[in-house]
Amino acid sequence: MKSIYYLLIVLLFASCQAVRVQTDYEKDTDFSNYATYNYYGDLETGLGALEEKRLIKVLDAAMQGKGLLLSEEPDFFINIQSEIYQAPNNNTVGLGVGGAGRNVGGGVSVGIPIGQAKVQREIIFDFIDSQKEQLFWQAVSSSSFNENSTPIQRELKLQEIVDKVLSKYPPKSKK
């Protein structure tokens, strides 16, 4: 019972922090031609070794759920890059001093930031055709990142990111 309580708290915490995803793709791509995938051999994700291992595990499970198979001779390669950055803090308190008299005016105002800057993580997923060696689909995810998260919280966050990214693959045709 305690574990369910903790899981609900973790899910509530994770759900409050939105994952934003933007995708782009080559408009002439026939996505039905892609059934197998693999990762670049010299993959440099920018993630720590354990975090990269978690991401690949979660991504493999999601890709298999879409009917795509990991292969030594894939139809496309996946390249992953990530970056951690501090988002600008938009919360400020303004203080102002001013005066006017006898047709002379002046003033000074200062914006004082309140709260801490939020740490964000951007993960870019590139799908590259193995024959043409050309990018045909890309997703850029952006989400909050807590460096003090437990391994379980990190895996849940990566699951949320991958689920949202792959919900947009393959793109829906707009004919």
pLDDT digits (tens, 9 = 90+) for 144-169: 988 888 999 999 999 999 999 999 99
CA-to-CA distance for 52 and 70, rounded, in angstroms?
Answer: 17
Question: Reduced to 3 states, what is the DSSP secondary structure of residue 168?
Answer: coil
pLDDT at 147: 85
CATH code of domain 2-88+116-166: 3.30.160.670
What residues does each domain of the chain span? 2-88+116-166
The average pLDDT across 38-62 equals 93
> In this structure, are residues 118 and 79 in contact, taking their beta carbons and an 8 Å threshold?
no
Residue 105: its H or E element = strand 104-113
